[in-house]
Amino acid sequence: MNETSTALRAAAERLAAAAPGTAGAAAEALIALAVADPDLRQPAADAICDWLRAPAEPDGGTPGERGAVLALLADRLRPGAAAAWDGIGLDLSGATLTDADFGGCRLDGAGFADTRFHGMTVFAGATFEDHTEFQRAVFYGDALFAGVRFAGDAEFGMTRFRGRAEFTGAVFGGLAWFGRGTDTWWEDDEAWDTVEEIDPAPWDEPNEDDPEWPVAVLIEDYQSWEEGGDGARFGADASFVDARFEGPAWFYNARFGAAAAFTGARFTDRVHLDQSAVDLTGAHWAGGTDAGESQWPLGWTVRPAGAEGGDLVPDASVAPYARQLADPDPTVRSAGLQILAQLGDDRPDLRQRVVATLCAFLRVPVPFDLRAPERTADQAGWLRPRQEAQQLLASRLRPGPGQWKDVDLWLCGATLVDLDLRDCEAGYADFTGAQFHGTTRFDGSRFERAEFTLGGRSGWATFHGDVVFGGEPPEDVVFHGAVA
């Protein structure tokens, strides 16, 4: 070991053992060594990341001190800064960061899996030259990714955005993964030996109860892109305005709790973006089909039609449905449900798409506590269209005149209130991670296959009231009421 590497190791040890109030000076000394010797820059960055990932002791410094150390590192990663560092990767997986500012930084790759971002988080204008991981991360405040460039794959599976998510003008050079699950491993992957070490933030979203749900590790040998787990969860407005997706744009099972603007976005490869809240005004698809067929929200279509792609425009073939489920007014949403019901009645070819749209509508997060003893008039009005959507599904799934046969239900992660599926028939029914509130009825229902968990106690469904199955209840789910 040469003299400079010995000095770096000693400086890293001083940072690791720094008393409260002294970590900034220890980090500055470490950075000074790396400024003088470029070969020490990645090890210095690793040492700072190790310190930031370590749980803070009760007397182990303040968030302000940790933020100051992070800022020292981020300042080195901005092109144009004096003695800027290039080709640096960061692993801050599982760290707790407050008001993190990586704006304008250039990184090789980065790991932010399970990271807790408090306050406002800034990645605006940053560049990631390699694979970047944000799976299971939680952004408690606004997350600003405007103008960010991901040269490699960007994984946001199961990421939770509790504040505004701003991806305006972002460029995704590889796979943009906001879809189901978080990690996919082969059956013989050594990572299975460390799965118990994953430390997701508690799944304490309103009306949802499953601490294992954020892990959702899937087996690559058996899972397709569409199977298993919830996607990214957007609690407030999300903007992908003018974003460029040069690889697949995967939002399967993503959940948008407010407006989702994709206006002016450019898509090059396969897309799965079928949530009813999405606005695609001025968006364009280049026609990439190598990875499979793209899925768009009901009410939008590509013109000119065909494999060569085209602009995303309102779909006149499903009029008078004109994306009413995306409207903030509950009365407009109720009117849209009736239009959808009539479309499905009149056009059997549309029934599965109508059902998928209703399921996506029921997967929108409920922003207030359903277990509160009373609800306000506004809350009751907000819930009314959801209960109408449930009743619409049930009435069309029961045998008799007007039955919609052989449709699948995609209610993974849905929030369902007083769901009554008595005597209903359907194909595959996905209730993994679903939350059932009030009284739930399944007696007499018949599904070709129904799932309530991802396997064992991962992604379990929870019943927060009484439930009637009329037979054997599913295993590995949670009941908080009577079961019959």
What value, to the nearest 5°, has the Cα angle with vertex 11 and ends 9 and 130?
70
- At 454 the pLDDT is 81
H or E element in which residue 50 lies: helix 41-53
Enumerate the H helices of 398-457 as residue ranges: none
CA distance linking residue 335 with residue 337, whole number of Å:
5
* Contacts of 39 by beta carbon, 8 Å cutoff, 6+ apart: 4
Helix axes 63-76, 41-53, angle to 10 degrees: 160
Per-residue pLDDT of the chain (484 residues; tens, 9 = 90+): 566 678 889 999 999 999 888 999 999 999 999 999 999 999 999 999 999 999 865 444 566 899 999 999 999 999 987 778 999 999 999 999 999 999 999 999 899 999 999 999 999 999 999 999 999 999 999 999 999 999 999 999 999 999 999 999 999 999 999 988 777 888 899 988 988 888 888 888 899 888 778 887 777 777 776 666 788 999 999 999 999 999 999 999 899 999 999 999 999 999 999 898 899 999 999 987 777 889 999 999 999 876 678 999 999 999 999 999 999 899 999 999 999 999 999 999 999 999 999 999 999 999 999 988 899 999 999 999 999 999 999 999 999 999 999 999 999 999 999 999 999 999 999 999 899 999 999 999 999 999 998 877 678 899 999 999 988 899 888 899 899 8
CA distance linking residue 232 with residue 217, whole number of Å:
14
* Contacts of 4 by beta carbon, 8 Å cutoff, 6+ apart: 33, 36, 37, 39, 40
Place of tokens 């960007």: 154
- At 64 the pLDDT is 86
CA distance linking residue 246 with residue 69, whole number of Å:
35
CA distance linking residue 420 with residue 97, whole number of Å:
44
Q: Where are the domains of the chain?
A: 1-84, 89-317, 330-479
Region of 38 (left: φ > 0; alpha: ψ -120 to 50; beta: rest) is alpha
| 431 within 8 A of 380, measured Cβ to Cβ | no
Place of tokens 């993994």: 432
CA distance linking residue 166 with residue 279, whole number of Å:
15
* Contacts of 285 by beta carbon, 8 Å cutoff, 6+ apart: 267, 268, 271, 294, 302, 309, 310, 311, 312
C-alpha to C-alpha distances, 319 to 182, 251, 262, 339, nearest whole angstrom? 37, 25, 22, 9
| 330 within 8 A of 381, measured Cβ to Cβ | yes
* Contacts of 183 by beta carbon, 8 Å cutoff, 6+ apart: 135, 157, 191, 215, 216, 217, 218
**Bond into 320 cis (ω within 30):** yes
* Cα 458 from chain centre: 17
- At 214 the pLDDT is 82
| 97 within 8 A of 52, measured Cβ to Cβ | yes
Q: Are strands 435-437 and 478-479 parallel, antiparallel or unpaired?
A: unpaired
